[in-house]
Amino acid sequence: MLTVRPHSLDEALDALAAHPAATLLAGGTDLMVQVNYQGRRPEVVVALRRVPELQQMDDGFIGAGVTWSRLTSAPWPGLAQAARTVGSPQIRAMGTLGGNLGTASPAGDGLPFLAAVEARLEVASRAGGTRSLPWDEFLIGPKRTSLRPGELILGVHLPGAMPEVQEFAKVGARNAMVISIASACLVRSPDGMVRIALGSVGPTPLRAPRAEAMISAEKRPSPAAVAEFGRLVAEEVRPIDDHRSTAAYRRHAAGVIARRLLERALA
Amino acid sequence: MTPIRLVVNGTEHLLEVEGPVSLLSLLRERLGLSGAKNACRQGECGSCTVLLDGEPVCSCLVMATDADGAEIVTVEGLAGPDGSLHPVQRALHDHGAVQCGYCTTGIVMSAVHLLERNPTPTAEEVKEALAGNLCRCTGYGAIVRALAAPERAADGEAP
């Protein structure tokens, strides 16, 4: 196994151009489980944690290498709340937002925030240069992305005007070290516009457009409208049965957390 | 073979590493440091916790070749040169917070990191810091009492 340890973005892109099929290593919290349990034996690993460009975080950009520990104090409450629910202190010290995107698990804790605020991804390769694409053109299925061979996730761009109110919640078997059964991020602007994105209840994070349209039209949502919002969200999700939960429970949980997040946002 | 350089408990090691082995395997099998334990191999249990450049990590999830250049502290690096226990080890000992002991070294490392940043944690903060360390003897009560500030203060210990 060859391990390449680039110290700049240029070196990282060169390494990927030379080894387009290389395995990208960020925090290792997903990859090493595959190594330890499924006997995964990468031929070439490009280890990214020494690339300073991927560590940047400013007003509108989060580098792919920013860890969950750093994101717990990020200025975006929807993402900071999600970061606090990721794994454990040990996992948060290593795992990164870029890893969440590259793994593209439907349960990725950072993904509902990105979907709710309509973040764009920036990816780059030596051959193709830099391209920017909306979150839903990047996350295309369970553990499937549109990242091309030789390409690297640089980070995410957040929109200029971010909704002020942002809330995140997830349902799992305990408060730590849990892969969510259902999760959601809800954002609300002063003009009443509400967006909600849900995780673990579909092949990718899902938005609930009918629920969003209904509640965004309400200047001061009544308790009945709030309840209807939860009901519509539960209708719009597309959960499956698996070893962590049933589709029926996930649908129910999605409606409940949607309603609670809206109540929090309106409080 | 990939050459790597590690500083473990203050001692520099130059090693050749083959394949995607974990830092945990390297510590235990190459350096003979068996303090970090191998249990789940997937980051769930925390028994392999060490400090990497000051941060608590599951050493089973660190690819050894990617640890190149890092400073590692394991439980073997905590006691003083005369064998005196680190205050965290002393507190766990004095509160009877060790049962079978398998999880203890990981809990010690997580607690060392917590108390470095927050010398007077509440019970709630201790529980959050130890959320990634499982104790199957369920000795959590004594562990939290050993580490939370009010409880330590009540025993007349320096926080």
Give the mean model confidence (pLDDT) for residues B41-51: 97
Residues of chain B with CATH 1.10.150.120: 87-154
Task: Please indicate whether, in this complex, the C-beta atoms of A93 and B55 are within 8 angstroms of each other.
Answer: yes
Percent of chain A with pLDDT over 70: 100
Residues of chain B with CATH 3.10.20.30: 2-77
Rounded Cα distance between B147 and B108, Å, is: 10
pLDDT tens-digit profile of A8-33? 999 999 999 999 999 999 999 999 99
Nearest alpha-carbon partner for A229 in A205, A190, A198: A198
Using a CB-CB cut-off of 8 Å, the residues of chain B touching A88 are 43, 46, 131-133
For the structural domain made of B87-154, what CATH number should be given? 1.10.150.120
Residue A181 in domain: yes
Domain count, chain A: 1
| DSSP secondary structure letter of residue B10 | T
Put residue A16 in one of left, alpha, beta given phi > 0 → left and psi -120 to 50 → alpha. alpha
Using a CB-CB cut-off of 8 Å, the residues of chain A touching B58 are 29, 90-91, 94
pLDDT classification of B43: cutoffs 50, 70, 90: very high
Across the interface, of A27, A42, A87, the residue whose CB is closest to B132 is A87
Are B146 and B95 spatial neighbours (Cβ–Cβ below 8 Å)? yes
Nearest alpha-carbon partner for A107 in A1, A215, A183, A185: A183
CATH number at residue A183: 3.30.390.50
Q: Which helix (H) or strand (E) holds B72?
A: strand B71-73
How is residue B112 written in tokens?
A: 């060392």
Residue of A nearest to B64 (CA): A3
The whole domain housing A179 covers 165-266
Give the strand order in the sheet containing A57-58.
A57-58, A61-63, A152-157, A120-125, A129-134
Q: What is the DSSP string of A4-71?
A: E--SSHHHHHHHHHH-TTPEEESS-TTHHHHHHHH----SEEEE-TT-GGGG-EETTEEETT-BHHHH
Are A194 and A225 spatial neighbours (Cβ–Cβ below 8 Å)? no
Residue A126 in domain: no
Residue A5 in domain: no
Mean pLDDT across chain A, nearest whole number?
97
Residue A84 has pLDDT above 60, yes or no: yes
What architecture is domain B2-77? Answer: Roll (3.10)
Task: Indicate the range of A110-119, A154-163, B146-155 predicted with least confidence.
Answer: B146-155
Across the interface, of B2, B20, B132, the residue whose CB is closest to A88 is B132
Residue A259 in domain: yes
pLDDT at res. B151 = 64
Residue A7 has pLDDT above 60, yes or no: yes
Task: Please indicate whether, in this complex, the C-beta atoms of B20 and A42 are within 8 angstroms of each other.
Answer: yes
SS3 B94: helix
pLDDT classification of B152: cutoffs 50, 70, 90: low
Rounded Cα distance between A262 and A220, Å, is: 12
Residue B159 has pLDDT above 50, yes or no: no
pLDDT classification of B139: cutoffs 50, 70, 90: confident
Task: Please indicate whether, in this complex, the C-beta atoms of B110 and A94 are within 8 angstroms of each other.
Answer: no
Task: Please indicate whether, in this complex, the C-beta atoms of B2 and A40 are within 8 angstroms of each other.
Answer: no
Residue A1 in domain: no
User: Can you point out the beta strands (E) in chain A?
Assistant: 2-4, 23-25, 44-47, 57-58, 61-63, 120-125, 129-134, 139-141, 144-145, 152-157, 165-171, 182-188, 194-199, 206-207
Rounded Cα distance between A243 and B25, Å, is: 30
pLDDT tens-digit profile of A105-154? 999 999 999 999 999 999 999 999 999 999 999 999 999 999 999 999 99
pLDDT tens-digit profile of B72-98? 999 999 999 999 999 999 999 999 999
pLDDT classification of A103: cutoffs 50, 70, 90: very high
Residue B157 has pLDDT above 80, yes or no: no
Phi and psi, residue B58, nearest 5°: -85, 110
Task: Please indicate whether, in this complex, the C-beta atoms of B63 and A41 are within 8 angstroms of each other.
Answer: no
Residue A212 has pLDDT above 90, yes or no: yes
pLDDT at res. A200 = 97
Are A254 and A237 spatial neighbours (Cβ–Cβ below 8 Å)? yes
Sign of the CA dihedral with B83 first, then B84, B87, and B88 last: positive
Task: Please indicate whether, in this complex, the C-beta atoms of B43 and A37 are within 8 angstroms of each other.
Answer: no
Residue B155 has pLDDT above 60, yes or no: no
Nearest alpha-carbon partner for B126 in A93, B113, A92: B113
For β-strands A44-47 and A2-4, DSSP reports them as parallel
Task: Please indicate whether, in this complex, the C-beta atoms of B61 and A93 are within 8 angstroms of each other.
Answer: no
C-beta neighbour count of A109 within 10 angstroms: 30
pLDDT at res. B55 = 98
How is residue B148 written in tokens?
A: 């939370």
| Tokens 């890893």 belong to residue | A99
Are A29 and A87 spatial neighbours (Cβ–Cβ below 8 Å)? yes
| Tokens 């830099």 belong to residue | A130
Q: Which residues of B touch A (CB under 8 A)?
A: 2, 18-20, 22, 41-44, 46, 49, 52, 55-58, 60-63, 65-66, 68, 110, 113, 128-129, 131-133
Percent of chain A with pLDDT over 90: 97
Residue B138 has pLDDT above 90, yes or no: no
